[in-house]
Structure 1
């Protein structure tokens, strides 16, 4: 059984103006303060139930790694309480706990004991650890000669050779090659299906959305938002785009989803609709049928460059396709207040059956992170039905031509 309870947890560090400040505090015969207090986290509270998978999201410096270190016990909170049940396996800093002069095999024995396994237990599973890590003869070489990817392979293999009750993973998995990342996430998924509780920090939106039930957004040391991964990443992207100055608003659509709209307002979407093969605005389209995404933009202030982008996402928020007028080499230049621009993107609806949404972005340059005039999630929600094609499965329609030769 694995569960985590974090209740009003805060973490502060002392900052001294000079190297003598700490010494003065220690040796002074009277109480004297020579430090400032910097709060890294303030009043963080959340629960993770057995078998749940929770993603932690936030920009660098938001306090994600500090929170994980407190949960795993490598550092203590200044205030608040953290309680856990079950055996915990954690991958925080890359190669954390590895001694550079010991061989990989020796480090496996050491790290395994730190996780609570006996020597006999580790030796009995050594072949299993080696096979999963796939680092060959390097297992008997000093860790100091390992690449970061080799360290990650070995560390993950040790942490997960037995299914833990709780698995905590920081950004370490982002170091490895694509093959081992897929292999690692397959193991994480299988453990999750068997009941392991998962806490993962990652900037990989696809990984969080594919694995996690919920996500938590940290910003400036505070828990800003908690909810479905798609909603949290939409809000996170809005915060990234509006880090300098602008607004982020939320509203609930008629489908019951939370829509995030952000931007500085120089340009906004005045109208948006999907047009089917009959020329009618529709929210239901046939697989493979021609479709037109028609968007009308209202300009409220002069800008040197105006780029419109759109992104098609599935019901889980995974990106299916996205592009913008910058990449299509049709950005609008030197627009002025009062301008209205109509865009028509024509494409075949080569998607599988299901519900999809379209997010739009008005900005300058190649992405909305630079100058975000408006970012709008769930601008359109539509459904794709298979009304005219042969039966198939999957999220895209890529019907092949088949040639069979019998000999």
Structure 2
């Protein structure tokens, strides 16, 4: 790849922090090892090492939007701080092409005694943005941040949300070649966060390079084409955002389910008959089964979902469903004796390829009584109002304690990839049939 196409190159990056048990150990480390070496004794170490990053390497092309995902403590913030130049690495190298504007932890780079206006000029100067140009854009910064008279108050009087507003407003008005966002928007109100996300997309469309860190996987999938998954300071996976974020969710949610022992349920015996024609599920006649490329598949009892697909009213699996036609979401399951029937629930979701839930329904919400047999079928009937595009079916077998709490016996994202097709162009995402009336007033 041509070096001119690379905005960020990270090579064998490492960062080690010295962790002291108490303040005295810091003083000991400063004085005693020198004395010990002078006396010819081995120098003691009064701290323990914590490697926030270890041998990390990757490249980001110009104009690319990359999501950095991982658990708390995985090294995401340290990585971004090194890229932005606020933290020095212990080893390795970072090469940057272009002006970097960053939204790191709240107030990073701000002088608490300065006013918001003074911090705007200070931050712009640090980034190499001309002061005269920043003065000319001050009204735009004020309008976007919605800080009003607070712009001329010391930032030490700001709330966390006001910090985020000011930091973001500065970052987007210095014409960044590279925009770095590290969870700074999580403290804003919903309306301002939506406003920021729209502006990030505008910056994205102008060709800027974006590094985006968020625990909200749906936001990462919406904004990013690629995801880098870190854990314990090391690279786990790097690739297309949908499969990488799916594996990450599987890993995270799998941790939540680790209290229940993982069990593999053998799918022995004949499959449930098809509701329409009595043929076995998964037979060549209707191909009702599971796609062989699930994005995320986890749970305490994998193997409960025998088949799941989008079908027509005859129960035949369809990879293309015309807009406005009836469709059946058919789920065949096998429930072993050790799975409680008391709060058992079958659920499905239809997502777009960015991972956004578009249609969700469960037998819990519908108060559907499930059969007592170990094998049964659930059919959800609806009309396809999805605009033309590609979608993915998610199915789950849950223990639904209440509306908001559930334990997943099995969660399968990618049970069926399918397309919706309309004869004419439809706008939006979900386009139901709408009747129009006119009245004279």
Establish whether residue 185 from structure 1 lines up as the match of residue 197 from structure 2: yes
In 2, are the aligned partners of 1:267 and 1:362 still within 8 Å (CA)? no
Aligned equivalents of 2:71, 2:193: Cα separation in 1: 22
Give a deviation string over 1:301-330, Cα, whole Å, max 9, x none: 513343322210123333212233344445
Q: Give the 3 Å change call, closer, same or farther, for CA 256–73 of structure 1 in structure 2.
A: farther
Aligned equivalents of 2:262, 2:132: Cα separation in 1: 58
Tell me the residue number matched to 2:429: 395
Aligned equivalents of 2:150, 2:238: Cα separation in 1: 43
TM-score by length of 1: 0.88
Residue 162 of structure 2, aligned match among 150, 163, 182:
150
Tell me the residue number matched to 1:22: 26
Establish whether residue 99 from structure 1 lines up as the match of residue 130 from structure 2: no
In 1, are the aligned partners of 2:129 and 2:174 still within 8 Å (CA)? no
Establish whether residue 68 from structure 1 lines up as the match of residue 95 from structure 2: no
Establish whether residue 270 from structure 1 lines up as the match of residue 306 from structure 2: yes
Give a deviation string over 1:118-166, Cα, whole Å, max 9, x none: 4333222212211221211111122233222222111111122132111
Tell me the residue number matched to 1:44: 56
Q: Which range is displaced more, 99-108 or 49-58?
A: 99-108
Q: CA deviation at 1:211?
A: 2.0
Q: CA deviation at 1:266?
A: 6.0
Q: CA deviation at 1:170?
A: 0.7
In 1, are the aligned partners of 2:263 and 2:302 still within 8 Å (CA)? no
Q: CA deviation at 1:199?
A: 0.5
Aligned equivalents of 2:191, 2:230: Cα separation in 1: 30
Tell me the residue number matched to 2:295: 259
Tell me the residue number matched to 1:404: 438
Q: Give the 3 Å change call, closer, same or farther, for CA 207–273 of structure 1 in structure 2.
A: closer
Q: Give the 3 Å change call, closer, same or farther, for CA 124–377 of structure 1 in structure 2.
A: same
Establish whether residue 319 from structure 1 lines up as the match of residue 357 from structure 2: yes
Q: Secondary structure at the match of 2:23?
A: coil
Aligned equivalents of 2:226, 2:405: Cα separation in 1: 25
Q: Give the 3 Å change call, closer, same or farther, for CA 46–255 of structure 1 in structure 2.
A: farther
Tell me the residue number matched to 1:229: 241
Tell me the residue number matched to 1:356: 391
Gaps of 5+ in 1: none
Q: Secondary structure at the match of 1:242?
A: helix
Gaps of 5+ in 2: 37-42, 265-288
Residue 53 of structure 1, aligned match among 65, 72, 84:
65
Tell me the residue number matched to 2:319: 283
In 2, are the aligned partners of 1:247 and 1:262 still within 8 Å (CA)? no
- For 1:74-93, list aligned pairs within 5 A: 74-93=86-105
Q: Which range is displaced more, 360-369 or 107-116?
A: 360-369
Establish whether residue 242 from structure 1 lines up as the match of residue 254 from structure 2: yes
Q: Secondary structure at the match of 1:208?
A: helix
Establish whether residue 372 from structure 1 lines up as the match of residue 414 from structure 2: no
Q: CA deviation at 1:355?
A: 2.0
Q: Give the 3 Å change call, closer, same or farther, for CA 369–55 of structure 1 in structure 2.
A: farther
Tell me the residue number matched to 1:340: 375
TM-score by length of 2: 0.82
Residue 168 of structure 1, aligned match among 173, 180, 202:
180
Give RMSD over aligned pairs. Answer: 2.9
Q: Secondary structure at the match of 1:190?
A: helix
Aligned equivalents of 2:294, 2:313: Cα separation in 1: 30
Aligned equivalents of 1:213, 1:256: Cα separation in 2: 23
Aligned equivalents of 1:162, 1:370: Cα separation in 2: 46
Establish whether residue 303 from structure 1 lines up as the match of residue 339 from structure 2: yes
Q: CA deviation at 1:369?
A: 8.8
Q: Secondary structure at the match of 2:174?
A: coil
Give a deviation string over 1:69-126, Cα, whole Å, max 9, x none: 1111111222221111111111101122223332211221222222222433322221
Aligned equivalents of 1:239, 1:207: Cα separation in 2: 18
Tell me the residue number matched to 1:159: 171
Residue 17 of structure 2, aligned match among 13, 18, 33:
13
Q: Please identify which structure carries the higher strand content.
A: 1
Q: Whose Rg is larger? A: 2
Tell me the residue number matched to 1:194: 206
Q: Secondary structure at the match of 1:350?
A: coil
In 2, are the aligned partners of 1:265 and 1:300 still within 8 Å (CA)? no
In 1, are the aligned partners of 2:399 and 2:407 still within 8 Å (CA)? yes
